[in-house]
């Protein structure tokens, strides 16, 4: 551990975690063993043997529990538990290759060595000592030298407890939302716990999902957006950032939206409205083009059911009321010239004329606010129609 923590301290932590073996404990044990498992075995093989025996005994104890007692069966049958046991056996039998340290880790280790970090190494410290609120001074040295500075370990322990509780809450919430794979749960927890969309974006990149698992990022993001009681712009900002970062996310998002278009008739109104505003934001920020709507046939009255019409009315009302004339011009100009989008252009003109120029924008009585919105929308529709005829593709 960069020369800061002795193996005794790590073994003490591992032993404490192995005595409970709950889901979060198993995840923590796995992380530690993957990081420095072989180093721990090299430093103290006897302690590693005791740890392995302790884990095996606890697993056997859990196996003997009835299915309804302390969730014993769930703990034993979990994939993560099986993977942890395999990792422990590999380390015990010296079959696991030591993890190669990355370049940043090597640089950090060399920098710490220059600072003579070995002089303050946590030697002979137990986990109880770390959490002891009464320790004072340079407690990592023998003698406990007195200092004026008061230790804040109790506060740190409270923060750790709060973070653990929050993590467990997120895991339960992910399960309730049918996030049924490790990748989907990890993505869900990052999205729902992000401080802002940039924080979530950076954490998602660090997931480094293998193969086609990165497709789950967009699908989980859209599902989180649709679950909200009120539309949250956070999701569209994060989606736009992902689309600009990697075009594969953009393609996945398009297919995901097309899948949801097929389900509009069976959607709750809340999900339908959130999807419309989410898509309007992405089109308005030029993350997606109106060409994403080519999967819909706006000229077929059988397709345009009441819910489908409501969805696209909300989409275009949001687009027209929240963006300038120049933005509307550029948005519609992007689909003005491609020959393969002719059916889409004709369908949009027909839909806008039939469903957005009437006085029942929201199905309620027209008041001063609605009249103002109607005037804005009619003016934007004129701009959109001119843009659709802009075959030269000139942007403003």
Structure tokens at 24: 């979060």
Report whether pLDDT(1) > 80. Answer: no
pLDDT band at 192 (very low <50, low <70, confident <90, very high): confident
pTM: 0.57
pLDDT in tens, 215-241: 899 999 999 999 899 999 999 999 999
Q: How far is CA 358 from the centre of its chain?
A: 41
pLDDT in tens, 273-283: 999 999 999 99
Q: Which residues contact 201 (CB under 8 A, 6 or more apart)?
A: 238, 241, 242, 245
Q: Which residues contact 146 (CB under 8 A, 6 or more apart)?
A: 136, 137
Phi then psi for residue 139, to 5 deg, are: -70, -15
**pLDDT at 149 (0 to 100):** 37
Beta bridge partners of 122: 5
pLDDT band at 153 (very low <50, low <70, confident <90, very high): very low
Burial of 41 (0-12, 13-18, 19+ CB in 10 A): buried
pLDDT in tens, 122-133: 555 667 767 776
Which of the pair, 31 or 271, is modelled with greater confidence?
A: 271
Mean of the per-residue pLDDT values of the chain: 78
CB 225, CB 278: distance < 8 Å: yes
pLDDT band at 103 (very low <50, low <70, confident <90, very high): low
Report whether pLDDT(97) > 70. Answer: no
Report whether pLDDT(336) > 60. Answer: yes
Report whether pLDDT(82) > 80. Answer: no
Could you give the C-alpha distances from 87 to 7, 10, 57, 287, 307, in angstroms and in order? 18, 17, 16, 43, 52
- What's the CA dihedral at 231, 213, 73, 64 to 10 degrees? -150
If you ran DSSP here, which 8-state letter would residue 102 be given? P
Q: What is the mean pLDDT of residues 188-200?
A: 88
Structure tokens at 276: 């419309």
**pLDDT at 18 (0 to 100):** 84
Q: What is the mean pLDDT of residues 80-104?
A: 71
- What's the CA dihedral at 216, 221, 222, 228 to 10 degrees? 140
Nearest of 47, 30, 20, 143 to residue 90 by alpha carbon: 30
**pLDDT at 256 (0 to 100):** 94
Structure tokens at 74: 């769930």
Report whether pLDDT(71) > 80. Answer: no
Q: Is the dihedral of CA 373, 374, 378, 384 positive or negative?
A: positive
Q: How far apart are CA 1 and CA 16, in angstroms?
A: 19
Report whether pLDDT(388) > 70. Answer: yes
Which of the pair, 18 or 168, is modelled with greater confidence?
A: 18
Per cent of the chain over pLDDT 90 is: 31
Phi-psi region of 70 (alpha: psi -120 to 50; beta: other; left: phi over 0): left
Q: How far is CA 172 from the centre of its chain?
A: 15
Report whether pLDDT(242) > 90. Answer: yes
Which of the pair, 178 or 393, is modelled with greater confidence?
A: 393
pLDDT band at 254 (very low <50, low <70, confident <90, very high): very high
Report whether pLDDT(155) > 90. Answer: no
pLDDT band at 362 (very low <50, low <70, confident <90, very high): very low
Structure tokens at 87: 């990792």
Lowest mean pLDDT among 221-235, 323-337, 370-384: 370-384
Structure tokens at 323: 């963006």
């Amino acid at each position: 551990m960069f020369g800061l923590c002795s193996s005794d301290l790590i073994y003490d932590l591992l032993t404490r975690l192995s005595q409970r073996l709950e889901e979060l404990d198993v995840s923590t044990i796995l992380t530690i063993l993957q990081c420095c498992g072989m180093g721990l075995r090299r430093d103290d093989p006897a302690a590693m043997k005791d740890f392995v025996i302790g884990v095996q005994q606890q697993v056997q104890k859990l196996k003997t529990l009835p299915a309804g007692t302390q969730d014993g069966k769930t703990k034993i049958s979990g994939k993560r538990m099986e993977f942890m046991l395999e990792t422990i056996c590999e380390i015990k039998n010296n079959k696991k290759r030591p993890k190669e340290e990355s370049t940043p880790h090597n640089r950090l280790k060399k920098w710490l060595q220059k600072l003579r970090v070995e002089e303050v190494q946590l030697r002979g410290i137990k986990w109880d000592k770390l959490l002891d609120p009464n320790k004072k001074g340079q407690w990592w040295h023998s003698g406990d030298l007195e200092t004026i500075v008061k230790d804040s370990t109790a506060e740190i322990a409270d923060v750790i407890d709060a973070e653990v509780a929050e993590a467990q809450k997120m895991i339960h919430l992910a399960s309730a939302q049918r996030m049924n794979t490790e990748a989907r749960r990890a993505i869900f927890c990052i999205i729902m716990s992000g401080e802002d969309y940039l924080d979530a974006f950076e954490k998602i990149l660090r997931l480094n999902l293998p193969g086609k698992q990165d497709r789950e990022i967009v699908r989980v993001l859209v599902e989180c957006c649709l679950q909200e009681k009120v539309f949250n712009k956070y999701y569209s900002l994060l989606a736009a950032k992902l689309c600009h970062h990697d075009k594969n996310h953009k393609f996945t998002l398009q297919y995901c939206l097309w899948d949801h278009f097929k389900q509009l008739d069976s959607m709750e109104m809340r999900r339908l409205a959130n999807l419309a505003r989410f898509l309007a934001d992405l089109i308005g920020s030029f993350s997606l083009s109106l060409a994403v709507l080519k999967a819909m046939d706006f000229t077929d009255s059988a397709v345009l059911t009441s819910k489908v019409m409501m969805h696209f009315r909300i989409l275009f009302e949001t687009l027209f009321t929240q963006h300038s004339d120049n933005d509307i011009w550029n948005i519609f100009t992007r689909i003005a010239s491609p020959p393969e989008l002719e059916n889409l252009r004709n369908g949009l003109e027909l839909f806008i004329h039939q469903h957005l120029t009437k006085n029942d924008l929201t199905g309620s009585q027209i008041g001063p606010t609605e009249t103002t919105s109607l005037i804005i929308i009619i003016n934007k529709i004129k701009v959109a129609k001119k843009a659709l005829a802009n075959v030269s593709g000139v942007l403003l």
